[in-house]
Amino acid sequence: MVKFITLFSFLLILASCKNGDQVTISTEFGDMKVNLLESALKHTKNFKKLVSDGFYNDLLFHRVMKGFMIQGGDPDSKGASNQQPLGSGGPGYTIPAEIGTPHFKGMLSAARLGGPSNPEKESSGSQFFIVQGGSVSDEELTAIERNKGIKYTPAQREKYKKAGGSPMLDADYTVFGEVVEGLDVIDKIANVETDPRDRPMKDVKMTIK
């Protein structure tokens, strides 16, 4: 009996270590509950601090691309005029990459500066995107494995085929959370009308707690 209790306790501890805290991203289209992943501790620690400071409240989803992702977290978006360019703001620092988790639909991933100016693929200190993506085939995953030198597990392949996502982002951006409730909210935001810069014609504000 003692051995059983000890093993049971160990399994509970192991399960509790799988994910970190949960946050709720609230919008006029509904709420998204997000489990933060302990596989990207630097990112989750930073995100939780910003959330506790109220950093994200009243910021916008300033970049929306249907079939791909919805992006927010630029502090310059708070109260921004319709003509103001967005997407370059942040808290003044970057976060070292913690790349590994695939970009299934609903994954919370860190935005970053692309190109040769960021060879270490360091993440923005505050900007993030949530994956919408689309359907994914075995052939597409095999091509990405070949092109990027990565290997998907059978479970990852199955999840991509069932849930969809944006595997072309894998091995390039840090995933640090997963939407576990409110996937339909992603679709609703992704369907809003946008201007040529991919900014929603009507502001989509967020509050994160």
Q: What is the CATH number of the domain that holds 124?
A: 2.40.100.10
**In a 3-state reduction of DSSP, which class is residue 49?**
helix
Tell me if 95 is assigned to some domain.
Answer: yes
pLDDT recorded at residue 52: 98
Domain that holds residue 189: 18-208
pLDDT tens digits, one per residue of 13-32: 333 334 559 999 999 999 99
Task: Report, as ranges of residue numbers, the positions in the chain whose pLDDT lies below 50.
Answer: 1-18
Cα separation, 161 vs 196, in Å, equals 31
Distance CA(162)–CA(199), nearest Å, equals 29
Q: Is residue 53 part of a domain?
A: yes
Q: Which residues does residue 51 pair with via DSSP β-bridges, in sequence order?
A: none
The torsion angle over the Cα atoms of residues 141, 174, 70 and 21, rounded to 10 degrees, is: 120
Considering the domain boundaries, does residue 13 fall inside one? no
Quick one: DSSP state of residue 44? Answer: H
The answer to whether residue 199 is domain-embedded is: yes
- Output the pLDDT for position 20: 59
Place of tokens 């994910």: 19
pLDDT score recorded for residue 12: 37
In a domain, 2, yes or no: no
d(CA 128, CA 43): 11
Task: Please tell me the predicted confidence (pLDDT) of residue 15.
Answer: 39
The predicted pLDDT at position 9 comes to 37
Number of domains comprising the chain: 1
Question: Within a domain: residue 187?
Answer: yes
- In angstroms, rounded to a whole number, what is the distance separating the alpha carbons of residues 43 and 129? 13
pLDDT of residue 158: 98
* 105 within 8 A of 186, measured Cβ to Cβ: yes
Judge whether 3 lies within some domain. Answer: no
Asked whether 187 and 132 are in contact (CB, 8 A), the reply is yes
- pTM for the whole structure: 0.90
Please give the Cα distance from 77 to 79 (Å, whole number).
6
Residue 93 lies in a domain: yes
Which residues touch 30 (CB under 8 Å, ≥6 apart)? 182, 184, 185, 188
Tens digits of per-residue pLDDT, 75-102?
Answer: 999 999 999 999 999 999 999 999 999 9
